[in-house]
Amino acid sequence: MWWLYALLSALFAALTAVLAKIGIKGVDSNLATAVRTTVILVLAWGIVYFRGSLSEVHTLTRTNWLFLGLSGLATGLSWVFYFRALQLGKVSQVAPVDKLSMALSIVLAVVFLGEKLTWQTGLGAGLIITGTIVLIWG
């Protein structure tokens, strides 16, 4: 079932790029990021509340807080740079470069999480990198 959620994530990520490109026109990219973040904040806490998970906040450990906080910081910086790139470039150029994060995630997972690099995963990461190069400079 994970693949269904992953496909939905890809669909909404694709919509994000197109909708953001339209919405960012004539707007400071940092302001646009702040508006987007506010919407996500309300959505995420709304889901937590309506699913009844709010009472579990106290179960988070210091490690959870630290790494979720660092992940949030990385996400925020990613969005700031992404919106600026969208403001300056075409979606068809910015989105593929942004998706290099998939190949980088594979490398980081192998190095820091000890995940095994299979030939299929290595080939897939290589194809992502190659495809990005073709889309940008082809």
The amino acid at 36? R
- pLDDT of residue 127 exceeding 90: yes
- pLDDT at residue 114 in the model: 95
Ordered DSSP codes for 52-107: T-GGGGGG--HHHHHHHHHHHHHHHHHHHHHHHHHHHS-HHHHHHHHTHHHHHHHH
- pLDDT at residue 138 in the model: 66
Share of the chain above pLDDT 70, in %: 99
Average pLDDT of the residues of the chain: 92
In this prediction, residue 115 has a pLDDT band, given cuts at 50, 70 and 90, of very high
Alpha-carbon gap, residue 138 to 135, rounded angstroms = 6
Closest of 93, 100, 65, 82 to residue 23, by C-alpha: 82
Alpha-carbon gap, residue 110 to 80, rounded angstroms = 27
Condensed to tens digits (0 to 9), the pLDDT of residues 71-112 reads: 999 999 999 999 999 999 998 888 889 989 999 999 999 999
Closest of 31, 115, 43 to residue 80, by C-alpha: 31
